């Protein structure tokens, strides 16, 4: 499957920003499940060069401006060919040892309730079956409900609330897997939803390390292993570490953030570049000038 993506994130500053620095993890890499055919990242219309592989083997770049800005518009767009590997990604992760992904963070720290849930799952059929059970248990325990959590909500808080979004499902799964002694990492990327449901933000899921298979992707929010509808961007210990954009700015006043993701399948007989131009044209009215 070929996936066309256009991901725009717009920052608007109430007062002119004097210095903006951003770490961008917006460049997908080739894996067993995806091949990048064309991709570019720009900020305020200027291409961002200098993407380099980090210790995870994933691409990132730092963008810095010292002059004054009223806004910053970051656009990542391109074409990626994906295939269905039943969620199996294999042995990836650069030079970072798998044990690194057993570390707790504030967002993924397990509570007693998460530990009890994870350790109560049957383990007679091996780690893969146990992780499938964990994914289902997280989905059963935490209803998908937007607006009840935020980027600072921890796994323990969302589990106690019994509701959350994909970020919460992923971080609870990670806490549960680590309670079992299984390395797990948070993944950000894009999902071509079934039935034409539009995705306006990035999606999040999990990869867990299974002996003899390597890293395997699970999406507790949709109760599936990762398929060809998923496009992987970056990974980390939690949502903060895997965030596509992180940065700092010197500014007085409020900052507004607006994100929009357009993803479509490039079907046979469709001119891919033409479809990409259509996506760009559909977004142009929302791009600020100056």
Is 290 inside a domain boundary? no
Domain that holds residue 58: 2-283
Residue 274's pLDDT is 55
pTM of the model: 0.90
Residue 239 C-alpha from the chain's centroid: 8
Number of domains forming the structure of the chain: 1
Is 263 inside a domain boundary? yes
Is 72 inside a domain boundary? yes
144 CB-contact burial (10 Å; exposed 0-12 / middle 13-18 / buried 19+):
middle
Q: CA-CA distance, 201 to 188, in Å (whole number)?
A: 10
* DSSP, res 117: H
Question: Nearest 5°: CA angle at 252, between 251 and 254?
Answer: 95
| 201-249 per-position pLDDT tens digit | 789 999 999 999 999 999 999 999 999 999 999 999 999 999 999 988 8
More confident residue, 251 or 281: 251
Is 289 inside a domain boundary? no
Give the CATH number for residue 60: 3.10.620.30
């Amino acid at each position: 499957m070929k996936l066309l993506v256009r991901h725009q994130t717009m920052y608007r500053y109430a007062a002119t920003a004097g210095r903006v620095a951003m770490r961008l993890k917006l460049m997908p890499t080739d894996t067993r499940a995806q091949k990048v055919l064309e991709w570019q990242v720009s900020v305020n219309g200027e291409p961002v060069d200098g993407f380099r592989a980090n210790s995870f083997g994933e691409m990132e770049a730092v963008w810095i401006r010292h002059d004054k800005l009223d806004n910053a518009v970051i656009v990542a767009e391109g074409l990626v060919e994906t295939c269905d590997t039943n969620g199996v990604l294999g042995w990836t992760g650069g030079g970072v040892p798998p044990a690194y992904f057993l570390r707790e963070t504030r967002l993924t720290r397990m509570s007693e309730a998460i530990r009890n849930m994870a350790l109560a799952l049957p383990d007679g059929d091996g780690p893969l079956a146990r992780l499938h059970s964990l994914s289902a248990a997280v989905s059963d325990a935490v209803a998908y409900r937007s607006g009840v959590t935020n980027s600072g909500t921890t796994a323990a808080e969302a589990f106690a609330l019994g509701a959350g979004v994909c970020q919460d499902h992923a971080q609870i799964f990670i806490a549960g897997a680590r309670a079992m002694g299984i390395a797990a990492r948070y993944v950000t990327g894009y999902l071509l939803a079934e039935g034409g449901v539009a995705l306006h933000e990035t999606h999040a899921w999990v990869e867990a390390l299974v002996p003899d298979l390597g890293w395997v992707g699970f999406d507790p929010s949709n109760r599936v292993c990762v398929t060809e509808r998923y496009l992987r961007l970056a990974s980390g210990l939690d949502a903060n570490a895997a965030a596509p954009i992180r940065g700092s700015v010197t500014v007085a006043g409020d900052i507004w953030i607006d994100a929009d993701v357009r993803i479509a399948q490039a079907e046979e007989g469709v001119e891919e570049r033409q479809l990409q131009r259509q996506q760009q044209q559909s977004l142009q009215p929302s791009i600020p000038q100056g």
